[in-house]
Amino acid sequence: MNIFGYITVISMVLLTILILMQTRGAGLGAGLGGGGEVNTVRRGTDKTIHQLTIILVIVFCASLLLSVLV
């Protein structure tokens, strides 16, 4: 396994953790569309987690592409 493989696995694990940390409501009903509120503005740690998730998605995709090309 080359360096891009390690980066892919590490970013995949971190991405999974960050996605699971993001909450859009309380309970299973909100996750299935039963939540009545609409969150349009991210603030504080929610915004930071969202931005880190976007960065990790870019790193994950780039490492996958580079590992295929190399």
Is the Cβ–Cβ distance between 62 and 3 less than 8 Å?
Answer: no
Crossing angle between the packed helical segments 3-21 and 45-69, to the nearest 10 degrees: 150
pLDDT of residue 15: 94
Supply the pTM of this predicted model.
0.71
Cα–Cα distance measured from residue 35 to residue 37, given in angstroms and rounded to the nearest whole number:
6
Distance set, CA 29 to CA 3, 38, 52 (Å): 41, 14, 26
Q: How far is the C-alpha of 3 from the C-alpha of 41, rounded, in Å?
A: 37
Per-residue pLDDT of the chain (70 residues; tens, 9 = 90+): 789 889 999 999 999 999 998 876 554 555 555 555 665 677 788 888 889 999 999 999 999 999 888 8
What is the pLDDT at residue 62? Answer: 94
pLDDT of residue 41: 73
